[in-house]
Amino acid sequence: MKNPILYITLIGSLLTSPLYMFGQVMARASVNRDQILIGEPITLTFEVRIPMGQSLTWFNLDTIPHFEIIEAGKLDTNDNIDGKQYHQELTITSFDSGTMVIPPLVLKVEGKSYATDSIPIEVAYTKDDLSKDYRDIKDIVEVPKPAWMAWIPWIIGVVTVIAAGVIVYLLKKPKQAPPPPSPAPRLSAYEEALQALEELRKQGLQNGEVKTYYSRLNDILRVFLFRKMKVATLEKTNEELIAQLRQMPMDKETFNQLVKALQIADFVKFARYQPDASDNEKNFAVIQSAIKTLNNIS
């Protein structure tokens, strides 16, 4: 062995390099697509690895500029030989056209900050296919008149004579003062909202009109807030409504679920999003629960 010091150095490097690798923090964010249409969902994936035994403060995912969070998946953890691994997926979309950038998102390990790379996303409108020919306007097709239409003048004459006789009878009949109408007791804002929700539940989706269903669900909440809390909601967007609801003393879980239900209503209205039956039932329950909570608060 000509140079034992060299061999000892090499063996020490080989033994300590895995320990060095295992002590590193890895934070990475990625998307399944970097080009979408306005309102089209994409998946944002977070992958994090930290050394075993160290404390972690996860990313702040309340808001992402220029993007809306449709659904936040469960945070999964896994213990491996190279450290503790974390995995989470978010379904997001954007209603702003152009190049929208997901900014670096920061987490903390043992008080030290680590940021992901920024991710540019191209958001565009649907392009028209100008290569296709325009369709010609069809000419008006004459339809033969049915035979019964020949009787219309006679029917009109008979109805006119009968109507004239009824008018003469009513003019000659002595008038009686109608009894004063008894005012029907008006329901409270809470009772009216529950009654409207029950009617909507019975009606369900009429001919698959999911947009009408979610618009009605949204309006029930707005009318309740207007009557119960004097909050001017009828002319506001859902984003403005969410900003007002943020000032009310609701628990965080109820508020987050209500925000998600209102965002899905916007996706249905503006992005032609088609939720399934379980989503419809869940969002109905969220609106109903929020109305009960707000009624108790006030």
Locate 108 and state its tokens: 């903390």
Q: Are 22 and 51 in contact (CB under 8 A)?
A: yes
Distance CA 43, CA 69 (A): 10
- Which of the 8 DSSP states describes residue 41? -
Lowest mean pLDDT among 1-5, 276-280, 291-295: 1-5
Share of the chain above pLDDT 70, in %: 83
- Which of the 8 DSSP states describes residue 64? B
* Average pLDDT score over residue span 187-203: 85
Q: Which pLDDT does position 248 carry in this prediction?
A: 81
Name the more confident of 10 and 128. 128
Chain segment 7-27, per-residue pLDDT in tens: 555 554 444 444 344 458 999
Per-domain boundaries in the chain: 25-124, 189-297
Looking only at the bridges linking them, the beta strands covering 83-93 and 98-102 are unpaired
Q: For the chain, what's the residue count?
A: 298
Locate 117 and state its tokens: 């790379």
Phi and psi at residue 67, to the nearest 5°: -130, 150
Q: Are 34 and 119 in contact (CB under 8 A)?
A: yes
CATH of domain 25-124: 2.60.40.740
Looking only at the bridges linking them, the beta strands covering 26-31 and 83-93 are unpaired
Q: Which pLDDT does position 218 carry in this prediction?
A: 83
Looking at every residue in the chain, the average pLDDT score rounds to 81
Which of left, alpha, beta for 110 (phi over 0: left; psi -120 to 50: alpha)?
A: left
State the Cα angle at 95 between 240 and 42, rounded to 5°.
120
* Average pLDDT score over residue span 186-205: 83
In angstroms, how far is CA 178 from the centroid of its own chain? 52
Lowest mean pLDDT among 106-120, 176-190, 274-288: 176-190
* Average pLDDT score over residue span 56-76: 91
Distance CA 99, CA 67 (A): 12
Q: How confident is the model at residue 183 (pLDDT cuts 50, 70, 90)?
A: low
